[in-house]
Amino acid sequence: MILDALFILNLFYAVWRGYRRGLIVGLFSLLAGIIGLAAAMKLSVVMAGFLHHQLHLDGEWLPVLSFILVFIVVVLLIRIGAKAIEKTIQFAMLGWLNKLGGILFFAIIYSIGFSIVLFYAEQSKLLPADTIATSKIYSFIQPWGPSVMDGMGVIIPIFKNMFGELKEFFGGLATRMSVILFFI
């Protein structure tokens, strides 16, 4: 029952965010995060070289600073584009459609996120069996996160079999912890 209440709160928050931000900004925010990470991973070396040669900056933190700078610049540029597109849609009197789409988009994204949190909580043994048993939504929402991540593994190979590997990790961790606790 507690999982159901948490899911409903999560859904209310998603609806509120979706209404406030709309579909265009929501989609572009997701894209900005993905593209920003990819660009930061690819271009942080170039940025670090630029900062080193042009501004004479040195230090172990330079690659991290470069990564953060590239990520922020890319995300901001994409968000500016999203706002421009959103203004065009509002001008065309389709603002209500943007808000409705935003509500649906954020509800789906937050449900997937909730599913991923459930996965980690279950694997970490933070969810008691009776909590899972009394939940009405658990069996419906729990497979979403792993399914989406496995599907993303087709497009982005790093996500391939991520949840299978995490299950193995948590299983091995439980075994190691029981051995350690046995000797304590």
The distance in angstroms from the start CA to the end CA of the chain is: 36
8-state DSSP, 142: T
Q: Which residue has the higher pLDDT, 133 or 182?
A: 133
pLDDT confidence tier of residue 183, bands split at 50, 70 and 90: low
- Identify the residue whose tokens are 């389709």: 94
Closest alpha carbon to 110 in 1, 170, 30, 166: 30
Q: So what's the pLDDT on residue 182?
A: 55
Q: For the residues of 150-165, what is the DSSP string, one character each?
A: HHHHHHSGGGTTHHHH
Q: Which residue has the higher pLDDT, 101 or 42?
A: 101
pLDDT tens-digit series, residues 28-80: 888 888 888 788 878 888 888 888 888 877 777 777 888 889 889 998 998 89
pLDDT exceeds cutoff 90 at 106: yes
- 147-174: average pLDDT: 70
76, HSE (Cβ side, Cα atoms, 13 Å):
6
C-alpha–C-alpha distance, residues 52 and 32, integer Å:
27
